[in-house]
Amino acid sequence: MLISALELKDGEVISLESGAVIGKIREPIVDPNNGKVLAFDVRVGFLTKRLILSSNDIIEWQHSALLVYGMNVLVEPIEIKRVFDLIKKRVRIIGKKALTQKGVKLGRVEDVYIDSTTGMIAKYNLTHGILSNFIEEGRIIPANLVVKIDKKGIIFKDSVAEGDKSKAAATKTATA
């Protein structure tokens, strides 16, 4: 099942042990080398303490909740070195620029769809900006078209932009 990161945002982390809500989901923490969701940033309590929920500790994924065994699966960020390093480097996916290999701007990542079976990002939902959202729809691009994720942004294969040119040419031909 594909689950939107935006649907999960502010969703609940629920303990099967107690049946209680033990935290609120903030955002996925993604490995930029392979697009795997390593963990989720979770806020707990009134003081909104930041804890981490490893993807390995999720029993069931739902559209607005994650089910876990109990409170003990939420840990301090420093306890999972790879996740802690990504947090320190501020590696985020949502809001990142989307470009082709040749540097053609595609927009920004508005949302990602996570495959709940594999924990991998399956699709990227791109937007062109606040004003253009009223004029032009965003686009969804499969994760297999990602070349790499780096400081510049999410780099997609050049064929993503070439597909836009083909569509534009077809539209011109159809209206002529």
Instruction: Please give the average per-residue pLDDT across 58-78, as a whole number.
Output: 94
- pLDDT single digits (tens) 97-114: 999 999 999 999 999 999
CATH topology of domain 97-175: SH3 type barrels. (2.30.30)
At 129 the pLDDT is 57
pTM of the model: 0.83
Instruction: Please give the average per-residue pLDDT across 116-134, as a whole number.
Output: 80
Ordered alpha helix ranges (H), the chain = 5-8, 81-88, 132-135, 159-175
- Angle at CA of residue 4, ends 149 and 89, nearest 5°: 35
**pLDDT surpassing 80 at residue 14:** yes
At 168 the pLDDT is 40
Mean of pLDDT over the chain: 86
- Main-chain phi, psi angles of 7, to 5 degrees: -65, -35
Cα–Cα distance measured from residue 139 to residue 110, given in angstroms and rounded to the nearest whole number: 10
- Structural domain spans, the chain: 2-88, 97-175
At 174 the pLDDT is 40
- Angle at CA of residue 159, ends 158 and 162, nearest 5°: 100
Residue 30, classed as helix, strand or coil, is: strand
| Homologous superfamily of the 2-88 domain (CATH) | PRC-barrel domain (2.30.30.240)
**pLDDT surpassing 60 at residue 163:** no
At 128 the pLDDT is 77
Share of the chain above pLDDT 90, in %: 73
70 touches 125 (CB < 8 A): no
- pLDDT single digits (tens) 25-52: 999 999 999 999 999 999 997 766 889 9
Asked, colleague to colleague, whether 2-88 and 97-175 share their fold, the answer is yes
Measured between alpha carbons, how far is residue 61 from residues 84, 119, 128 in Å?
Answer: 23, 10, 29
**pLDDT surpassing 60 at residue 175:** no
At 47 the pLDDT is 67
Instruction: Please give the average per-residue pLDDT across 38-67, as a whole number.
Output: 91
